[in-house]
Amino acid sequence: MTSYGGRESSRRSTSRYELIVADTPTLPFPAANKLDFRLRELASDAELQTTARHMAKTRAVPPVIGDDRHMTELHQQTLVELAQLAPASGPAGLDGLREVPVHLVPEIRLHLADDALVLWARMEAEVGTTLAAPFWASAWLGGQALARFVLDHPETVVGRRVLDLAAGSGLVAIAASLAGAASVTANDIDPYANAAIELNARANAVQITVTGHNMLDGDDTDGADVVLAGDIFYSGPMAQAFLPFLERASARGVAVLVGDPGRVDLPGGRMRIVATYPAANAGALADAEIEQVHVLRLT
Ligand SMILES: C[S@@+](CC[C@H](N)C(=O)[O-])C[C@H]1O[C@@H](n2cnc3c(N)ncnc32)[C@H](O)[C@@H]1O
């Protein structure tokens, strides 16, 4: 019997992704197409990990701004859909979500994908169209470090109004709320992320205001004294879109902290490292070789 991450392969055989793929011989959706029938043929853990790494590297970076991120009709009741992807007990399968403690922040539990690429393939296969990558289904290294920092340094946020920008799963927003922020807004342009943030806020018994509009062209930080942004510098377009907004906020006296594991587009010269955490085995497969992750303050 083979295993994946210590879990027995029998779980794979019950995956709804497999059923979808089996019933749909030609798939016009990129993630499903790339995965193809490969998952069913996988003979060992090593092969699965190689496939996932390869896919993470070869997939085009999804568009950022002016992106037509949409929620599909099938997923309109997104919260309900997400909750269904996360069974209350038992295995979720590689294409599902599970409520799990976060590696660097075990006091927070999130609904995360066992394998975000497979979840993505399943969601596209279900709705028959392309979808933005489910970034909300992973706890990115930058977000984990920022959440750890906020919990260990509550003075950063206590009694203050906090904006978690590009919130994804809402991890950083949840940490800010647990650390004693006066109010927390989580913003992300992906409607699936907005639903995931609500689900995750509920799981951690915190109150967060969730917004989905693109804030980057304006100066409105929703009245925040502190802006937190986890892992936003993963592409050139992302850096170009986010940095001016963060710099304008900083110039107005807003404290700006980012979490980043040294991505190539991090504008490191504009920032000062305030904390460093070990990243080994903490992030997604594609980040497996990263050893450290930083929290940086915009200067
Ligand atoms: C790599 S994920 C990081 C998520 C989270 N901060 C974390 O660390 O786990 C980047 C997120 O940025 C979001 N994003 C992209 N463009 C955005 C924009 N213009 N405004 C807000 N969020 C955006 C994506 O939807 C995605 O959830």
The alpha carbon of 20 and the centre of ligand 1 are apart by a number of angstroms equal to 28
Which residue, judged by its Cα, is nearest atom 27 of ligand 1?
Answer: 168
Could you give all domains of the chain from N- to C-terminal order, each with its CATH number? 3-135 (no CATH), 141-298 (3.40.50.150)
Report the distance separating Cα 63 and Cα 292, nearest Å. Answer: 27
Q: What is the pLDDT of residues 37-63, one digit of tens each?
A: 444 433 344 544 554 444 444 444 444
The alpha carbon of 286 and the centre of ligand 1 are apart by a number of angstroms equal to 17
Atom of ligand 1 at shortest range from CA of 143: 8
Which residue, judged by its Cα, is nearest atom 12 of ligand 1?
Answer: 166
Question: Which of 61, 189, 295 is the pocket-test mutation for ligand 1 (most atoms within 8 Å of CB)?
Answer: 189
pLDDT number for residue 85: 63
Using CB distances shorter than 6 Å, the residues near ligand 1 are 64-65, 135-136, 139-140, 142-143, 166-169, 171-172, 187-190, 193, 214, 216, 230-232, 234, 241
pLDDT number for residue 71: 75
pLDDT number for residue 116: 83
- The answer on pLDDT for 8 being more than 50 is no
- More confident position, 124 or 22: 124
- The answer on pLDDT for 102 being more than 70 is yes
The alpha carbon of 76 and the centre of ligand 1 are apart by a number of angstroms equal to 20
pLDDT number for residue 98: 84
- Which of 37-46, 61-70, 98-107, 111-120 is modeled with the greatest confidence? 98-107
Atom of ligand 1 at shortest range from CA of 146: 8
The alpha carbon of 164 and the centre of ligand 1 are apart by a number of angstroms equal to 10
Mean pLDDT for the stretch of residues 2-20: 32
Which residue, judged by its Cα, is nearest atom 15 of ligand 1?
Answer: 64
